[in-house]
Amino acid sequence: MSELLDVALMPANLVFTVLLGLVLLYWIMVILGALDFDFLDIDFDTDGDVDVDMDADADMDIQGGGVLRSVLEFFYVGEIPVMVLVSVFALCLWVISVLANYYINPKGSLLLSLPILAGNLIVSCMLVKIMAVPLRKLFKSLEADPNATRNVMGRICKIVTTEVTNGRIGQGEIQSKGAPVLLNVMAESDHVFHKDDEALIVGQNKETGVYIIAPVDLT
């Protein structure tokens, strides 16, 4: 155990050890209820930039473009919670770095650690992509509900993510006989919906499966 700790704290491994420690701290706080499961708010802007903010929910503005957008879509960001992908990536980086430096670079040479780092990043990205495929299916199955696509038109949903607009997908919750049904929703007009707002489901994008919502007019 002490040998593993010594290797983990080597300069070549220290960054990944700290990163993994932060990820573990995050999951501990989630378990204790100090943080929500979705933690990063990701916006795809129309100019191709991506803004990442620390927030209680993970939403995605779909009107983006460019290389970075393609990369995020490649790793199924938006279909898999961001922190799940970050956690898998951090674990892969740490394991590969510790093993590679232990067997190939036991003296901790910074010069030798550079090609190890480059290879580590490439292999870790490949592993994340491989593991993202079953994770994507898992989260789809968890969100799937046999009644979700039936009898929802005209029903009231409650917004459970930070913000929903005409260009930003969020989630709305519909009460059912069993567990609440979560639907991916997007605003019909320029109206901005915030967490805990109520909205009326008025349509669905057949290509994406996203439901279109409008303000509830109680007057």
Least-confidence region, from 32-36, 76-80, 195-199? 32-36
Token pair, residue 199, equals 């909205």
Distance CA 102, CA 92 (A): 15
- Residues 88-106: tens digit of each pLDDT: 999 999 999 999 999 998 8
Q: Which long-range contacts (CB under 8 A, 24 or more apart) does 113-118 make?
A: 113/11, 113/12, 116/12, 117/12
- Residues 172-205: tens digit of each pLDDT: 998 877 678 889 999 988 899 999 999 999 998 8
